[in-house]
C-alpha cells in the first residue's frame, strides 16, 4: 500500500539558455542647443535655441523570472520562483519537473507577479512556462529551464495511503521519513491535508516501529464515507535541520469508502461487523490465550492476502509455544507486529468458547473468507475487554490516543 517516491524530482542536466523575448529599447535622440553669452550693458546677443525634445517610447511588455534561467550558475536549493511581467497581467504560469507535481503559487492583486508556494529542490531541473497579456492585448510568453545545485544530504517521506485509492473510515494520513527530522516544525509546515466535506483534524509526531520519524494526521472522529481527501507535500527545498533538504512535491488524492467497523469482544468471544451502522453479522471467534492476549484498543486494517505462512519465529515466539502453521487462509493484517484476523481450522470447537490463539483473531474458514471479502485497508477493528492497548506506532493505533493529547503532539503548537 505504501510506495517510496523518487528521491530527486529530476536529474541534473546542462542548463539551456533562457529563450525569452527581450524588449528592445528605442534610443532617444537629443537635439543640441546653441547659446551665446550676452555682453555688458544693453547689448543683445543674437542667438537661437533649439526647441527639439528627446524622443521617448514605452518599452514593450516583458516577462522576467527569478532565479534567472539564463544564469550559468545553478540556482540555490530552497529558493522560491518569482515571475513578473513589466506591464499587463500574467495569464498562465507552470513550473514543473520530471516525476513531481507542478508547483502551486499565488498571483499578486494586480496580476503582474506570481510567486511559488513551494521551494526548489536540490539537484533538480525545472521547466518554466509563463504567458501574459499586455495592455494593448498582445500575447507574450517566456519559457526556459532552471537547474538547482546539488545538496550534500536529502530526505524523502514515504506516504500512505497511495494516490487514487479508496480506504476505510479509520485510515490516517501517514508520512514516514528516511532521515531524522530535526526541524519538525519546518517539515510540518510543508504538509497539508484537506477534505471535502471538511473535518476537524490534527497531526502527531512519533517514532515508527523501525525508529524512523513519522507524522500522522487523523480527524477527530472517523471519516465520513465518500469523503474526498488530499495530501499536499511541499517539501522540496525544505531544510529538515543540518542542511538535509527535501526533494518532494506531491499532491495525493484518495477517497473514503463505506464505514465497515468491527468490534471484537474478548469476553464474549465474538466479532460484530457493521457497515454504515448496520450489523451485518456477529461471528464466533477465538482470541489470544493467557500470556498472549490480543491487543486491546482500535487497530486499522493494513492489508489482506488470501494465504500466508505463519511461523512463530517471525514474531519472536520460541520454545514450547513455537509453531509453524504452514499456509494460513484469508489473512487480514492488523499490526506490523503480527496481529491478523484469519482462518484457524486447527482451533475448530474453540470459536465462541475458548480463547486459544497466540494473539490473532481466529475463526472458521467459512467465516474468515466472509470477513476477508468485506473489509479493506483503513477499516477499523476494535478489541474490547482485553489488556495492553496497542501502541500508536504499531500500525495505526492513532485512535487510542485522546484527542487533546493527539493535538498537543504537533510541532506547530
CATH number, domain containing residue 109: 2.60.40.3780
Res 101: pLDDT:
87
Residues 384 and 339 in one domain: yes
pTM assigned to the model: 0.81
pLDDT in the model for residue 309 = 80
- β-strands 173-177, 157-160 pairing: antiparallel
C-alpha–C-alpha distance, residues 187 and 174, integer Å: 14
Same domain, 293 and 266: yes
Evaluate if residue 77 carries a pLDDT over 90.
Answer: yes
Q: Is the pLDDT of residue 24 over 80?
A: no
Pair (200, 274) in one structural domain: no
Same structural domain for residues 264 and 367?
yes
At 42 the pLDDT is: 40
Biggest alpha carbon distance in the chain?
135
Residue 16 located in a structural domain? no
Quick one: average pLDDT of 350-374? 96
**Mean pLDDT on 56-84:** 88
Cell numbers describing residue 320: 514450547
* 14 domain residue, yes or no: no
User: Which of the residues are catalytic?
Assistant: 342, 360
pLDDT confidence tier of residue 57, bands split at 50, 70 and 90: low
Among 163-172, 222-231, 322-331, where is mean pLDDT lowest?
322-331
Residue 177 has pLDDT above 80, yes or no: yes
Looking up residue 366, the CATH number of its domain turns out to be: 2.40.440.10
In this prediction, residue 180 carries a pLDDT of 98
Domain limits at 137? Answer: 63-147
Nearest-angstrom CA–CA distance, 285 and 356: 10
Q: Please give the Cα distance from 366 to 9 (Å, whole number).
A: 48
**What average pLDDT does the segment 126-150 reach?**
95
pLDDT beyond 90 at 181: yes
Q: How far apart are CA 38 and CA 228, in angstroms?
A: 87
Residue 353 falls within a domain, yes or no? yes
Asked if residue 10 is part of any domain, the answer here is no
Q: Look at residues 233, 257, 281 and tell me which one is the last residue of a structural domain.
A: 257
Question: What confidence score (pLDDT) does residue 326 get?
Answer: 75
120 plus 98 within the same structural domain: yes
Is pLDDT above 50 for 135? yes
Which of 257, 275, 300 is the endpoint of a domain? 257
Query: For the residues 1-20, what does the mean pLDDT come to?
Result: 41
Residue 21, pLDDT above cutoff 70: no
* Number of separate domains in the chain: 3
Burial class (CB in 10 A: 0-12, 13-18, 19+), 344: buried
Asked if residue 72 belongs to a domain, the reply is yes
Establish if 242 belongs to a structural domain: yes
**Same domain for 193 and 274?**
no
Same domain, 233 and 297: no
> For 232-259, what is the mean pLDDT?
96
In a domain, 408, yes or no: no
Q: In the predicted model, is pLDDT for residue 30 greater than 50?
A: no
Residue of 86 and 321 predicted with greater confidence: 86
Instruction: Reply yes or no on whether the pLDDT at 400 is more than 50.
Output: yes
17 has pLDDT over 70: no
> Would you say residue 5 has pLDDT above 60?
no
How confident is the model at residue 25, as a pLDDT? 32
**How far from 259 is each of 51, 97, 222, 367, CA to CA, in Å?**
86, 38, 9, 20
The enclosing domain of 157 has a CATH number of 2.60.40.3710
Reported as a pLDDT band with limits 50, 70 and 90, residue 22 is very low
> What is the chain's alpha carbon radius of gyration, rounded to the nearest angstrom?
33
DSSP 198: -
Rounded mean pLDDT of the chain?
Answer: 87
Judgement on whether residues 364 and 274 belong to the same structural domain of the protein = yes
Q: Sorting pLDDT into bands at 50, 70 and 90, what band is 58? A: low
Both 139 and 180 in one domain: the answer is no
Task: Please tell me whether residues 265 and 391 are part of one structural domain.
Answer: yes
Quickly state the pLDDT bin for 314 (edges 50, 70, 90).
Answer: confident
Residue 125 pLDDT > 80: yes
Note whether 248 and 267 are same-domain residues: no
Q: Does a structural domain hold residue 368?
A: yes
Residues 216 and 113 grouped into a single domain: no
Reduced to 3 states, what is the DSSP secondary structure of residue 390? coil
Given this model, what pLDDT does residue 33 score? Answer: 35
Query: Which of 147, 162, 183 finishes a domain?
Result: 147
Q: Which residues contact 229 (CB under 8 A, 6 or more apart)?
A: 173, 193, 194, 195, 223, 253, 254, 255, 256
Peptide bond into 246 cis (omega under 30): no
> Among the listed ranges 17-21, 24-28, 183-187, 221-225, which one has the minimum average pLDDT value?
24-28
pLDDT confidence of residue 99:
83
Distances (CA, A) of 79 to 88, 239, 246: 25, 12, 12
Amino acid at each position: 500500500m505504501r510506495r517510496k517516491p523518487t528521491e530527486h524530482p529530476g536529474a541534473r542536466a546542462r542548463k539551456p539558455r533562457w529563450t525569452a523575448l527581450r524588449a528592445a529599447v528605442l534610443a532617444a535622440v537629443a537635439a543640441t542647443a546653441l547659446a551665446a553669452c550676452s555682453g555688458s550693458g544693453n547689448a543683445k546677443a543674437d542667438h537661437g535655441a533649439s526647441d527639439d525634445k528627446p524622443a521617448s517610447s514605452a518599452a514593450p511588455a516583458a516577462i522576467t523570472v527569478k532565479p534567472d534561467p539564463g544564469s550559468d550558475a545553478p540556482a540555490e536549493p530552497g529558493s522560491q520562483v518569482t515571475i513578473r511581467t513589466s506591464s499587463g497581467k500574467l495569464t498562465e504560469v507552470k513550473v514543473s519537473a520530471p516525476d513531481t507535481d507542478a508547483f502551486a503559487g499565488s498571483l499578486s492583486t494586480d496580476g503582474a507577479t506570481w510567486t511559488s508556494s513551494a521551494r526548489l529542490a536540490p539537484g533538480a531541473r525545472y521547466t518554466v512556462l509563463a504567458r501574459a497579456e499586455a495592455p494593448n492585448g498582445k500575447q507574450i510568453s517566456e519559457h526556459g529551464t532552471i537547474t538547482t545545485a546539488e545538496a550534500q544530504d536529502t530526505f524523502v517521506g514515504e506516504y500512505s495511503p497511495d494516490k487514487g485509492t479508496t480506504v476505510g473510515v479509520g485510515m490516517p494520513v501517514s508520512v514516514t521519513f528516511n532521515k531524522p527530522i530535526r526541524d519538525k516544525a519546518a517539515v510540518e509546515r510543508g504538509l497539508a491535508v484537506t477534505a471535502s466535506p471538511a473535518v476537524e483534524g490534527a497531526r502527531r509526531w512519533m517514532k515508527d516501529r523501525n525508529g524512523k520519524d513519522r507524522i500522522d494526521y487523523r480527524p477527530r472522529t472517523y471519516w465520513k464515507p465518500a469523503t474526498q481527501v488530499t495530501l499536499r507535500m511541499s517539501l522540496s527545498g525544505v531544510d529538515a535541520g543540518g542542511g538535509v533538504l527535501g526533494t518532494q512535491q506531491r499532491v495525493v488524492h484518495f477517497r473514503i469508502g463505506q464505514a465497515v467497523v468491527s468490534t471484537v469482544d474478548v469476553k464474549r468471544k465474538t466479532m460484530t461487523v457493521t457497515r454504515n451502522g448496520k450489523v451485518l453479522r456477529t461471528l464466533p471467534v477465538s482470541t489470544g490465550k493467557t500470556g498472549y492476549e490480543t491487543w486491546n484498543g482500535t487497530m486499522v486494517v493494513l492489508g489482506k492476502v488470501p494465504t500466508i505462512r505463519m511461523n512463530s519465529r517471525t514474531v519472536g515466539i520460541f520454545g514450547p509455544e513455537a509453531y509453524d502453521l504452514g499456509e494460513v487462509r484469508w489473512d487480514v493484517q492488523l499490526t506490523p507486529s503480527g496481529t491478523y484476523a484469519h482462518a484457524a481450522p486447527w482451533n475448530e470447537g474453540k470459536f465462541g468458547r475458548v480463547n486459544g490463539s497466540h494473539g490473532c483473531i481466529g475463526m472458521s474458514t467459512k467465516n474468515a473468507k466472509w470477513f476477508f471479502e468485506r473489509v479493506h485497508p483503513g477499516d477499523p477493528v476494535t478489541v474490547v475487554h482485553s489488556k495492553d492497548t496497542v501502541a500508536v506506532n504499531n500500525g495505526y493505533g492513532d485512535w487510542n490516543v485522546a484527542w487533546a493529547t493527539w493535538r498537543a503532539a504537533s510541532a506547530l503548537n
